[in-house]
Amino acid sequence: MSITADQHVHSHHSADSEERMERIAEQAIAAGLRDLCFTEHNDFDYPDVGDEEIKKTTFYLDTDAYHEEYLSVRERYADRIRLHFGVELGLQPHLAEENRAFVQAKPYDLVIASIHVSRGRDPYYPAFYEGRTEEEAMREILEETLENIRVFDDFDVLGHLDYILRYVPSGRQTMDMDPFSDLLDEILALLIRRGQGLDLNSQPIWKKGYPEMNPSRQILLRYRALGGRIITFGSDAHRAANVAGGFDRAAALARACGFDGYAVYSGRSGQMRPL
């Protein structure tokens, strides 16, 4: 396997996973990885989605408990794999200040910025798409993404840019991004200018059998054409069995889009490794 670092994985420290960190480390070793980065969820101010189980604070990360267990697991596996301490941080424009303080409070290796909530709604739920086309929903997400990364820049890679394609009611696997090229170019150019990258998320491949990752080939080609080189690979596994899922295909897709390397993050700094 040519990808030797999975840099987007959730353990029980994320509200939507129950997996033990040790099991993830062991699976990563078995899969031949040299590096694995835990990227637990932190989403401040999660909206009311009409589910009694999910509160505003559901996705608040207990960073002390997470850091403490991480240090002990890292130590235990140190001779077999390098484990890294990351976070998948949910952006919303009004949280910029709070998110800045959050990132500075712990020694993260990698910060993935993700948009899980747009204008008070999560695209995971069907209500997000009611009364509009899926293209209109995509436009909103891109506008919101641009707004978010303009007001907040303390992150390393942007997560699953076209994430709504996992959840659109039609079940379609791709969407033509040409109608959004102005917005998309602004997002990609800003990332490139700031030395930030794209997180290539293979979950659609291993979970749904889709032919593409998030973001899609069309977005990757555009990022590359604008001069973007920094990519990371992440399975977005929430169970050990899915660590490094879909990585063979992910590597082939990235190569076909013109990437010959990927970044591995430690201490918020990426080192390129050949693909």
Rg (CA), the chain: 17
Q: Closer CB to Zn ion, residue 4 or residue 7? A: 7
Please, which residue, 73 or 237, has the CB nearer to Zn ion? 237
Residues linked to residue 93 through DSSP beta bridges, in sequence order: none
**Minimal distance, residue 66 CB to Zn ion, in Å:** 14
Q: What amino acid is encoded at 126 in this protein?
A: P
> Which residues make Cβ contacts (< 8 Å) with residue 272, sequence separation at least 6?
229, 261, 262, 263, 264
- Residue recorded with tokens 């170019």: 185
Residue closer to Zn ion (CB basis): 6 or 236: 236
Residue type, 252: A
CB of 71 to Zn ion, least distance (A): 22
C-beta of 274: minimal distance to Zn ion in Å?
Answer: 26
Query: Whole-angstrom Cα distance, residue 70 to residue 210?
Result: 32
Determine the Cα–Cα distance for residues 212 and 196; give it in Å rounded to an integer.
22
Which residue's CB is nearer to Zn ion, number 80 or number 119?
119
The minimum distance between CB 227 and Zn ion, in angstroms, equals 26
Decide if 109 contacts 271 (C-beta within 8 A). Answer: no
Residue 58 beta carbon to Zn ion: minimum distance, rounded to whole angstroms = 14
- Alpha carbons 82 and 266: distance in angstroms, whole number: 10
The length of the chain, given as a count of residues: 275
> Residue ranges of the alpha helices (H) in the chain?
21-30, 63-76, 96-104, 134-151, 181-193, 203-208, 217-225, 247-256
- Which of residues 41 and 222 has its CB atom nearest to Zn ion in the complex? 41
Kindly state the smallest distance separating residue 126's Cβ from Zn ion, in Å.
18
- Least distance CB 178 / Zn ion (angstroms): 25
The residue (of 7 and 114) whose beta carbon lies closer to Zn ion is 114
For residue 83, list its beta bridge partners. 36
Nearest Cα residue to 204 out of 160, 159, 170: 160
Q: Which is nearer to Zn ion, 114 or 242 (CB)?
A: 114
Give residues in contact with Zn ion (CB under 5 A).
88, 114, 236
